[in-house]
Amino acid sequence: MLFRSVLVVDDEKDICDILQFNLENEGYIVDVANSGEEAMEMLTDVHQLIILDVMMDGISGFKMAEMLRKNENYVPIIFLTAKNTENDVLTGFSLGGDDYIAKPFSVKEVLARVRALIKRTSLIIQPADTKWKHDGLKIDITTNRVTIDDNEVSLTKKEFEILSLLAQASPKVLTRAEILSSVWGDNEYVLDRTVDVHITRLRKKLGDYANVIVNRSGFGYYLNLNDNSENE
């Protein structure tokens, strides 16, 4: 039997109780932490998703997400917060968040987003090609690794998903809307600019290979796997 484990992190007990009750009614195993510090100690590989409040004393939700990503922990994160300005949303995604729900929230919406995110991150459909090489750059979606001259490049989950999506589609140009739909799903808080922010960060990490990601002005992005590249 497949079990699904969620870690709820919020310093408001009432919110934790509501989420725990409704998630457990949906069949999830739920752990609750009332601070970022407690959550960092409680988090294990068993947890498939974190519902994370942003505004907490001590380690905030944004800080916790940043710490996890720096430690190469890419467990999916749904931010749950009253901080819902455009800048707040973009900050959350730039730190590796996967979804963003504003307070006050609908329990049905939270449950729907949890289901969608776990499904999207758990059910991986393998394409015909799973490895790509361009000179010293290698992309391997079976191991979720990107290397340059055999040195691993540290990417966030979203950055890797964008790069692998472009590799699978190459040489087709993907619009921002197509990238948003594939990587973020039906997330009303994600803006077109979010794709550009992630692409900019991704290019920076690719260094000398930044130009393999090409912006077709007015259309979108594609991965330039030219004659010097090869599918493996």
User: What pLDDT digit, counting tens, does each position of 70-104 carry?
Assistant: 988 989 999 998 877 888 888 889 998 999 998 99
Task: Quote the pLDDT of residue 126.
Answer: 45
* Residue 232 binned pLDDT confidence (cut-offs 50, 70, 90): very low
Summary mean pLDDT of the chain: 86
Q: For residue 57, what is the DSSP state?
A: S
As a whole-number percent, the residues of the chain with pLDDT over 70 amount to: 90
How far are the Cα atoms of 37, 172, 183, 222 from residue 206, in angstroms, in the given order?
A: 33, 20, 20, 15
When pLDDT is averaged across residues 184-210 and rounded to a whole number, the result is 85
Task: Quote the pLDDT of residue 206.
Answer: 95
**Domain assignments of the chain as residue spans, ordered by start:** 4-122, 131-231
Pick the CATH number of 4-122 from 3.40.50.2300, 3.10.150.10, 3.40.1180.10, 3.40.190.10: 3.40.50.2300
Task: Quote the pLDDT of residue 123.
Answer: 45
Element (H, E) at 100: strand 99-102
Residue 1 in this model has a pLDDT that exceeds 60: no
Q: Please give the model's pTM, rounded to 2 decimal places.
A: 0.55
Relative to beta strand 131-134, strand 77-81 is unpaired
**Backbone torsions φ then ψ of 191, nearest 5 degrees:** -105, 160
User: What pLDDT digit, counting tens, does each position of 130-177 carry?
Assistant: 788 888 999 998 888 999 999 999 999 999 999 988 988 788 888 887
134 versus 187: the higher-pLDDT residue is 134
Closest alpha carbon to 10 in 20, 1, 23, 2 = 20
* Residue 31 binned pLDDT confidence (cut-offs 50, 70, 90): very high
232 CB-contact burial (10 Å; exposed 0-12 / middle 13-18 / buried 19+): exposed
Cα dihedral sign, 18-19-20-25: positive
Same-fold call for 4-122 versus 131-231: no
Q: Provide CATH code, domain 131-231.
A: 1.10.10.10
**Backbone torsions φ then ψ of 95, nearest 5 degrees:** -90, 0
Helix (H, G, I), strand (E, B) or coil at 140: strand
